[in-house]
Structure 1
Amino acid sequence: MELTVKLQVFEGPLDLLLYLLEKNKVNIYDIPIVEITEQYMEYIREMKRQDLEVLSEFLVMAATLVDIKSRMLLPSNPDSEEEEEDPRAELVQQLLEYKMYKCMAYELKDRQMDAGRVMYKKPTIPEEVRAYEPPVDIHELISDITLSRLHEIFESIMKKQQDKIDPLRSKFGKIEKEEVSLEDKMEDLKKYAAGHRHFSFRGLLTAQSSKVEVIVTFLAILELMKMGTIRISQEHIFDDIQIDSKVAA
């Protein structure tokens, strides 16, 4: 009765060599070429009976192993001053590169399998957020004005405040003044807007007594614009900006 032997499938001759080295637990840098060649040839003999299509590249490696084996069996020349190169060196380099790429392939395969188990949730927006509408359209509020124009007016007002400084009195001691809060200035502006339906942006800033008040007033105007309490407009470029109050008198 004929005995059928099922051979392990290898991806190439280097894969088979690497398997034989690991099976025999030998150092890849010190390959026992005689033993490994005999095991390799035994595998080739079994392949001849089963799969002739992939045999050619394995035969090439078999010839390489036999060549290395024959060179290692030759006696070394004792009179040679040059250090003889190990016949296995090139094969060892090929095995090391193959092993590195094989490990990388396993790593990529593991990552692919891990990625296949990851589930992603489609983005959803709560109905409360979807239904929200801002109370004031900011673009409508500043449709006829630009931030650069506001900046120019602000800079000119700050320059006037600087010009008001007395060069002599400014060297005297300072009397600390209570800081002006943004909330208080917003309340003051609401009261002012309730009694003045239309007033000048420049005039409002010019009326402030210090740089701090100018800055806080400017910020308060921007906040009230966002809240929809006031609206600013400008008929022509370089004209003064007008503020329209929406506060009930």
Structure 2
Amino acid sequence: MTSSVDSAAIPPVNQSIEQPVAKICGEPLMEIPQDLYIPPDALEVFLDSFQGPLDLLLYLIRKHNLDILDIPMVQLTQQYMAYVDMMEVEQFELAAEYLLMTALLIEIKSRMLLPVPVTENEEEKDPRAELVQRLLKYEQIKLAALRLNELPQADRDFSTVQVWMEQSTHDRLPNVSVDMLRQTWLGLLARAKINRHHQINREALSVRVYMSQVLRNLHQCGQIVFHELFSPAATVTEVIVTFLAILELAKEMLVEISQPEVLGVIYVRSVDAV
């Protein structure tokens, strides 16, 4: 299939524009520096990279469709040695690993060529069995690593977003339970019994009057300790009426009862002063 292109539609290329030979940190480099040193191995290109001798063996087995449970050692050894010779590795530590595997393959190959006497109590063991087990375990780990690499990863497949939210914190004071009020009430009763009079007089006490008195005290001081609302010289009847007045004020949400610390002092303050 051929196609014709109108030469008039293509703008002429300006041959006089000099193109940069490279870019360093985004800056164009128009000519190669005279003192530039390039190491001999800097331009080497590896078409296939392997993580070790087992990776190379597994690559050769899968590439030539060999049965990993029945490896033809002659063919595999020849291919492995040819590939190692082609690599021309200059790093001795890396080359030693591949050469050690080469020696192992040659040993297995020789053991398969030589007849092995079989005794009555011992069964013939395949020389390739240990190598096959290593290859199968390595393949399982490699496949598992590939599956893990396919999972979404932060900063590779998606980016994490952080949002700053200004939020003011408020101190939450402990709630005053009924048991705490009862204990305080019992303490007030015990103190009132000291001032108990044996003379019985009928006292007309109004809860509303004591409510107004408590509110006046709170408006003057803002916040008062709970037991300070009760006069030390108050009788039992006056203590009861004062206590009912405080509860009625709290019920009508005119005062607030709080306790900053657990088992601490109980405070009463007017809602208007909050």
Q: What TM-score, normalized to structure 1?
A: 0.51
- Report whether the alignment pairs 1:61 with 2:61: no
Alignment size in residue pairs: 182
Aligned to 1:203: 240
The amino acid across from 2:89 in the alignment is D
Structure 1 residues 117-145: Cα deviation after superposition (integer angstroms, max 9, x where no partner): 3223323337xx66xx97xx876xx8xxx
- The yes-or-no answer on 1:230 pairing with 2:255 is yes
> What residue in structure 2 maps to residue 119 of structure 1?
159
Question: How does 1:5-44 map onto structure 2 within 5 Å?
Answer: 8-44=48-84
Deviation at 1:108, TM superposition (A): 5.0
Q: Tell me which residue corresponds to 2:127.
A: 87
Contact 1:193 1:245 in 2 (8 A): no
Q: Distance in 1 between matches of 2:267 and 2:77?
A: 97
The structure carrying a bigger helix percent of its residues is: 1
Letter aligned with residue 33 of structure 1: M
Kindly provide the CA deviation profile for residues 154-211 of structure 1, in whole angstroms up to 9, marking residues without a partner as x: 36879xxxxxxxxxxxxxxxxxxxxxxxxxxxxxx99x956863677x837986xxxx
Deviations 1:12-46 (A, max 9, x none): 22111010111122332322222211221222333
In structure 2, how many angstroms separate the alpha carbons of the residues matched to 1:78 and 1:242? 96
- 5+ residue gaps, structure 1, are 159-188, 208-216
* C-alpha distance in 1 between matches for 2:162 and 2:251: 38
Report the RMSD for the aligned CA atoms in angstroms.
4.9
Structure whose alpha-carbon radius of gyration is higher: 2
Inter-partner Cα distance in structure 2 for 1:39 and 1:243: 92
- Structure 2 Cα separation of the partners of residues 233 and 81 of structure 1: 89
% identity of equivalent residues? 35
Q: 1:138 to 1:195 in 2, by over 3 A?
A: farther
Q: By how many angstroms is 1:64 displaced?
A: 0.9
Map 1:104-143 → 2, pairs under 5 A:
104-107=144-147, 109-111=149-151, 113-125=153-165
The letter for the 1-side match of 2:240 is: G
Q: Write the distance in 2 (CA, Å) between the matches of 1:79 and 1:233.
A: 93
Q: Flag the 1:74–1:205 CA change in 2: closer, same or farther, 3 A.
A: farther
User: Scaled by the length of structure 2, what TM-score is found?
Assistant: 0.47
- Out of 86, 89, 92, the residue aligned to residue 46 of structure 1 is 86
Amino acid at match of 2:255: I
Tell me the residue number matched to 1:70.
110
Letter of the 1:51 counterpart: V
Unpaired runs of 5+ residues, structure 2, are: 1-44, 187-206, 218-228, 231-238
User: Which one is further off, 17-26 or 105-114?
Assistant: 105-114
Task: Using the TM superposition, give the Cα deviation of residue 112 of structure 1 relative to its aligned residue in structure 2, in angstroms.
Answer: 7.5
